[in-house]
A and B are shown apart, each in its own frame.
Chain A
Amino acid sequence: MSTIPGPTAFRGSLRHEAITFAGVVERNWYLIKRYFWWELAFFVWSLANTLTIVFIAKGIKAAGGQIDVNRATTTLLIGAVIWSYLGIVFEFMTETVAWERWEGTIEYTFMAPLRRSVHLFGVGVFAVVYGVFRSAVLFTVVAFFFGLHMPDANFIAAIAVLTVASASFIGVGTMTSVLPLISPEKGAQLGFVAQGTLLVISGVYYPVSVLPQWMQWLSTISPATYALRGIRRALLGGASLAGVWQDIWPLLIIGTVAMPLGLWVFGRGEVYAKKHGKLKRSG
């Protein structure tokens, strides 16, 4: 208990950062395990929600519309699954603060020698891995339910697009995770506003071309636009990695900007919270 390390002892310690990163992942894993039945319940909700949307394709056909039901169903399914995936990522990121405040652990986490970038990246990586797993299960279940045929689908290219897009999603999620720090009461709900806004301009269930011009312009800076387009190109058109490159490079650029920007925004929020005494448990 008596060693008093100097300031250099912790700088640049890759091992220390790796362990703290593992700690964040480990904690989220424990929570998923402990809330397993709730996770299952939320999965059922996601499934019901996805089915509601995907049935629209059959509904249009039943109403006399002339559409390729298989293609329309897959297009809607991709939109619904990405919506669900973004929901998981944003929920985890936003709960970085909100959940900890509710449990009362926020003070202990923020007074630990845990680099904020490692902290948030750890939460983001866990959210992405868990989100990809849950989304894959959701996609598979609904695809079987509708008996969808995707003979040309290139799943590798689709996963590559989603992986690259996830860096941007973590960046945007980091920006939204600062909201509960600034507004303990309602900040967490604003994460859902960000998720909805991002998807409405990104062509979640429709081509971006149907949007008004100003929304189309906004869609060019939304990572979800390229994620949805690239994944549809890979699953519906069978595009290879080279074929989805046109969606990957904008995602790389947006991710390169969004991650440091997200950290900067969170950093400003943390300073604000420390100045105004908001870094504390609820109640």
Chain B
Amino acid sequence: MYAVEVNNLRKEFFRRDATRSGLRRKRRRVPALEGVSFTIERGECVAILGQNGSGKSTLVRLLSTLLLNDGGSAAIFGHDVFKEQRVVQRLVNRVSVEASFFKKMSSEENLAYAARFYGMAPRETREEIVRILARVGFPTDRKHEGMEHLSRGMQQKVALARALLTSPVVLLLDEPTTGLDPRSKLEVQDFVREIRSTHDATILLCTHDLNEAEILADRVGILDRGRLVALAPVAELKEKYDAETLEEAFFAATGRAFEEEDEDAERGVFA
């Protein structure tokens, strides 16, 4: 059984257009994901590379049960993401680009109530929160401080702790290091490596950091305009596209330079 199995997954959004038809604004169909299929083995780390608007976050949101599909299927350890949502929710957790906490509440309070949502009683989390905060490199003497007083890097460490506290078997990382300073970025990447080496976690990492994908993932996928155009180990990708670097492979696969931001960012798809 695959940890993650995605088959011909489709998602589209409707966005209001500037043009009008009578009194009403026209709506245009914006495909976010078009027939995406892939599998991830248990314990594997797969990185999905793509520009802004390529559909990375839509994929993560679909697997997190925050969106409903328009076609195809997705399963986590055999459980249908769209029909068995509560089971899937127990198996999955996520770290996104924004740390997303109640800013006035402390890290300890944010983690405590989040753990409760996963059925963890106070006596189970009292010591565990301190332990896990220490593990992600968070100074535990600051656990009573409001989140608003913490740096972006610190907040992202608490986000990692929140995800791990619930013992997910599938971890969805949606640009977890975007916007972090180099040191915090390395710390988060080290921690992801540590999770992989010490736990039986399956990781889907969506990123637009080529280096991060290369050093962390077993296989790298290239998502372009909602289509998964390639998915293979980095060495195979380079060989397939006759490229010396992952960036060159990306260019060969998509016909566009990685940094190039064109109309895709304006597609109206989640960035």
Q: List residues of chain A with CB under 8 Å of any chain B CB.
A: 1-7, 9-10, 13, 15-16, 19-20, 22-24, 26-27, 30-31, 34-35, 103-105, 107-115, 271, 274-277, 279-281
CB distance from B84 to the nearest CB of A (A): 6
Q: Is the CB of B94 within 8 A of A111?
A: yes
CB distance from B122 to the nearest CB of A (A): 8
Residue B168 lies at the interface, judged by CB distance under 8 Å to chain A: yes
CB distance from A228 to the nearest CB of B (A): 35
By a CB distance below 8 angstroms, the chain B residues around A7 are 79, 84, 87
CB distance from B31 to the nearest CB of A (A): 13
- What's the Cα separation between A216 and B162 when bound, in Å? 52
CB distance from A55 to the nearest CB of B (A): 36
CB distance from B206 to the nearest CB of A (A): 14
Given contacts A3-B169, A108-B162, A111-B94, 18 further A-B contacts (CB under 8 A): A1-B164, A1-B200, A7-B87, A9-B90, A20-B116, A22-B116, A27-B116, A34-B105, A107-B66, A109-B117, A111-B65, A113-B90, A113-B117, A274-B65, A277-B13, A277-B61, A280-B270, A281-B98
**Considering the complex, which residues of chain B in the window 10-63 have a beta carbon less than 8 Å from any beta carbon of chain A?**
13-14, 58, 61
Known: A1-B201, A26-B112, A274-B68. A10 touches B86 (CB 8 A): yes
Q: Is the CB of A107 within 8 A of B105?
A: no
- What's the Cα separation between A113 and B117 when bound, in Å? 7
By a CB distance below 8 angstroms, the chain A residues around B105 are 27, 30-31, 34
Q: Is the CB of B14 within 8 A of A111?
A: no
Residue B207 lies at the interface, judged by CB distance under 8 Å to chain A: no
Q: Is the CB of A20 within 8 A of B102?
A: no
Q: Is the CB of B87 within 8 A of A5?
A: yes
Query: Considering only CB atoms, which chain B residue lies closest to A99 in the complex?
Result: B102
- What's the Cα separation between A104 and B147 when bound, in Å? 13
By a CB distance below 8 angstroms, the chain B residues around A4 are 77, 91, 169
Residue B177 lies at the interface, judged by CB distance under 8 Å to chain A: no
**Considering the complex, which residues of chain B in the window 198-220 have a beta carbon less than 8 Å from any beta carbon of chain A?**
199-201
Interchain residue pairs A-B with the least CB separation, the first 5:
A23-B116, A104-B100, A2-B200, A112-B117, A27-B113
Residue B140 lies at the interface, judged by CB distance under 8 Å to chain A: no
Query: Considering only CB atoms, which chain A residue lies closest to B174 in the complex?
Result: A107
Known: A1-B167, A2-B199, A108-B114. A113 touches B14 (CB 8 A): no
CB distance from A72 to the nearest CB of B (A): 42
Residue B96 lies at the interface, judged by CB distance under 8 Å to chain A: yes
**Considering the complex, which residues of chain B in the window 240-269 have a beta carbon less than 8 Å from any beta carbon of chain A?**
none
Residue B136 lies at the interface, judged by CB distance under 8 Å to chain A: no
CB distance from B115 to the nearest CB of A (A): 8
- What's the Cα separation between A10 and B270 when bound, in Å? 32
Q: Is the CB of A274 within 8 A of B67?
A: yes
Query: Considering only CB atoms, which chain A residue lies closest to B32 in the complex?
Result: A277
Residue B119 lies at the interface, judged by CB distance under 8 Å to chain A: yes
Query: Considering only CB atoms, which chain A residue lies closest to B146 in the complex?
Result: A34
Residue B89 lies at the interface, judged by CB distance under 8 Å to chain A: yes
Residue B118 lies at the interface, judged by CB distance under 8 Å to chain A: yes
Residue B120 lies at the interface, judged by CB distance under 8 Å to chain A: yes
**Considering the complex, which residues of chain B in the window 63-116 have a beta carbon less than 8 Å from any beta carbon of chain A?**
64-68, 77, 79, 84, 86-87, 89-94, 96, 98-105, 109, 112-116
By a CB distance below 8 angstroms, the chain B residues around A280 are 61, 66, 270
Query: Considering only CB atoms, which chain A residue lies closest to B102 in the complex?
Result: A103
Known: A30-B105, A34-B105. A19 touches B77 (CB 8 A): no
- What's the Cα separation between A165 and B117 when bound, in Å? 28
Query: Considering only CB atoms, which chain B residue lies closest to A28 in the complex?
Result: B113
By a CB distance below 8 angstroms, the chain A residues around B270 are 277, 280
By a CB distance below 8 angstroms, the chain B residues around A13 are 119
Residue B186 lies at the interface, judged by CB distance under 8 Å to chain A: no
Q: Provide a sorted-by-A list of 22 A–B residue pairs whose CB atoms are within 8 angstroms.
A: A1-B164, A1-B169, A4-B91, A5-B91, A9-B90, A19-B116, A19-B120, A23-B114, A24-B116, A34-B105, A103-B103, A104-B101, A107-B64, A108-B114, A110-B66, A112-B89, A113-B89, A113-B117, A115-B86, A274-B65, A277-B67, A277-B270
Contact among B61, B99, B199 with A1 in the assembled complex (CB-CB below 8 Å): B199
Known: A19-B116, A112-B89, A274-B67. A31 touches B102 (CB 8 A): yes
Residue B121 lies at the interface, judged by CB distance under 8 Å to chain A: yes
Q: Is the CB of A5 within 8 A of B102?
A: no
Q: Is the CB of A104 within 8 A of B66?
A: no
- What's the Cα separation between A280 and B104 when bound, in Å? 20
Best-buried of B91, B93, B102, B113 by chain A (most CB within 10 Å): B113
Known: A103-B103, A274-B68. A113 touches B13 (CB 8 A): no
Contact among A2, A9, A107 with B96 in the assembled complex (CB-CB below 8 Å): A107
Q: Is the CB of A104 within 8 A of B98?
A: yes
